[in-house]
Homo-oligomer: A and B are copies of this chain.
Amino acid sequence: MTTAVSNTAFPPTSPLSEAERDRILAAVDAAFERQIGFLSDLVRCASLRGQEAEVQEFVEAALLERGYDVSRQSIDPTLFGRHPAFSPATISYDKTWNVLADHKPVATQGRSLILNAHVDIVPTGDPQRWQDPPFTPTRHGEWLYGRGSGDMKAGLSAAIFALDAIRAAGLELTAPVQIQSVVEEEITGNGAAMALASGHVADAVLIPEPTDEKLVRANSGVIKFAITIHGTPAHPREVSSGASALEAAMRLIARLRELETRWNAERATKPFFDEVDNPAALTIGTINGGEWIASVPSSCRFEGRIGFYPGDDPQDRVKEFEAFVASVAAEDALVQRCPAPIVEWVGVMHAGYTLTPGSEAEAVLAEAHASIHEPDNAPLEAYVMACYLDAAVYAVHAGIPSLVYGPIAENIHAIDERVSLLSLRRVTKTIALFAASWCGVRPAR
């Protein structure tokens, strides 16, 4: 479901002149091949979880070159469980860090802005199934292929090159702007949590996730779990003396679909979610069980995630989930014969957010979007995204209007991920106009 966003309620506070606007857009066009090259370099870095150092060093160098005040920010594990933005983590953060780049105007007018993008990517699956190698960015027509091209290295390139274009147009933003190149969005959100917990706030946040040039009106809360079941191994000649941990896991997964159905049914009363298909979306992402082809498996572990609604406390959903698992263990004849399933929380445990309609930030973005989509002047549409987004950190814990808006991409988290370069160019222009209007501009010194 998408709804039209009003772009008339709040006129931009620092109207750009026609000439300034034209110079900015021309600058995006002029730099666009370089932007594709930059994006390709980002895609070449296989920035899987825990392996973000290479891409972050590259981004850091690019931001230093542009004259930003750049710093590295480590994730402080002592904050886990103490600051509500953090989710449980299962890895060491010794070799992973955020890169923060500040533009500080001499004299501040206008409104401050955070442009946030994550650099971590998800695994590729079998590379043989890709038409081109997943870390070899490849252009076919208007599409650039590669893992992370859409989610969300294109967005990071848009943020950086949008600000470049403003400078290339002879303008300086008159409010503080921070570019945040963060880690850990795909598993915990702890990169964004660290940026927020260390005091980085602004009057608005824009995150150019791949949203098909739409605005995210709301997202889901998400909790990520791992469940381990121990069975009783046995020889195939006496199966009934054992209890297969795999069979027990299959029973539990099947029963968890009931919980998904129950949580999905709640959407009828949830603003913005009533027409969302599968807002709770239980997915089982991994399973590993057994150690021997001809034994009844003695243990099985599976990991997954399930969603819920903005306004729900994730801790309440955690309790409900754990109680449900315990009830299956008490009721199911096979699961009953195994020790109690062990539930671990191994990733995002975060509330969803709603972008309340009517904010000035949204109006300024809608204006920028519409002006780029001339001559049809298509209005900005909003929709619900039933997954975790780092925007939730800023919206839930700091009340910052958080705009998730980015290019058209396909097959994210899948085979042959790709981003539309035509769309990326439009989005880069939209972000440039939005930043210029939101923050205000003056002629560069």
Indicate whether A414 sits within 8 Å of B289 (C-beta atoms), given known contacts A240-B278, A296-B283. no
The CA-CA distance from A290 to B285 in the complex, in Å, is: 6
Contact A237–B385 (Cβ < 8 Å): yes
**Nearest opposing residue in chain B for A48, CB measure:** B292
- The segment out of A60-68, A79-87, A160-168, A228-236 that lies at the interface is A228-236
Determine the distance from Cα of A235 to Cα of B150 in the docked complex, in whole angstroms.
12
Contact of A294 with B186 at beta-carbon distance under 8 Å, contacts A305-B236, A387-B236 already known = yes
CB distance from A134 to the nearest CB of B (A): 12
State A358–B254 Cα separation when bound (angstroms).
Answer: 51
Chain B nearest CB from A216 CB (Å) reads 10
Evaluate whether A123 and B236 lie within 8 angstroms (CB atoms) in the complex, with A242-B414, A253-B250, A284-B244 already known: no
Given contacts A289-B286, A294-B187, A295-B413, are A239 and B281 in contact (CB under 8 A)?
yes
User: B286 contacts A415, CB within 8 Å?
Assistant: no
**Interface residue A303 (Cβ < 8 Å from any Cβ of B):** yes
- Do A386 and B236 touch (CB < 8 A)? yes
Task: Say yes or no for A341: interface residue by CB 8 A criterion.
Answer: no
- Once the chains bind, are A122 and B294 in contact (CB under 8 Å)? yes
Q: Can you list 6 A-B pairs, Cβ within 8 angstroms, ordered by A?
A: A125-B233, A240-B278, A250-B250, A283-B294, A285-B296, A285-B297
Q: Given A293-B286, A293-B346, is A307 in contact with B413 using a C-beta cutoff of 8 Å?
A: no
A299 at the interface (CB under 8 A from B): yes
Nearest CB in chain B: distance from A22 CB, A: 37
Neighbouring B residues of A233 by C-beta, 8 Å:
125, 413-415
Taking CB atoms and an 8 Å cut-off, the chain A residues in 374-408 that contact chain B are 385-387
| Nearest CB of chain B from residue A113's CB, rounded to whole Å | 26
Give chain B residues whose Cβ lies under 8 Å from the Cβ of A234.
413-414
A214 interfacial contact with B, CB 8 Å: no
Interface residues of A (CB under 8 A from B): 122-123, 125-126, 129, 151, 186-187, 224, 226, 230, 232-237, 239-242, 244, 246-247, 250, 253-254, 277-278, 281, 283-300, 302-305, 307, 346-347, 385-387, 412-415
Please state the number of chain copies in the assembly: 2
Q: Report how far A236 CA is from B385 CA in the complex, Å.
A: 10
**Is A304 a contact of B298 with CB atoms below 8 Å?**
no
| Residue of A244, A283, A346, A414 with most chain B CB atoms under a 10 A cut-off | A283
- Given A129-B298, A236-B281, A246-B287, 15 more A-B residue pairs with CB atoms under 8 Å apart are A126-B298, A126-B299, A233-B413, A234-B413, A236-B305, A236-B387, A237-B386, A237-B387, A239-B283, A285-B295, A287-B287, A287-B289, A290-B303, A292-B413, A294-B413
Q: Do A292 and B123 have beta carbons less than 8 Å apart?
A: yes
A283 engages B236 (CB within 8 Å): yes
Would you list the 8 A-B pairs with minimal beta carbon distance, nearest first? A286-B290, A237-B387, A125-B298, A235-B413, A285-B293, A293-B303, A233-B414, A123-B291
Inside 8 A of A290's CB, which chain B residues have their CB?
A: 284-287, 303
Q: Which residue of B lies closest to A285 (CB)?
A: B293
The chain B residue with its CB closest to the CB of A410 is B241
A261 CB, min distance to chain B CBs, angstroms:
14
Determine how close the nearest CB of chain B comes to the CB of A399; give it in whole angstroms.
Answer: 24
By the criterion CB–CB under 8 Å, are B284 and A246 in contact?
Answer: yes
Between A123, A346, A347, the greatest number of chain B beta carbons within 10 A of the residue's beta carbon is seen for: A123
Contacting residue for A305 out of B226, B294, B347, CB 8 A: B294
Contact B237 A281 (CB under 8 A): yes
- Nearest-CB distance from A409 to chain B (Å)? 10
Complex Cα gap A377–B46 (Å):
73
In the complex, what residues of B have CB within 8 A of residue A385's CB?
237
A151 to B233: give the CA distance in the assembly, Å: 15
* Chain B neighbourhood of A226, CB < 8 A: 293
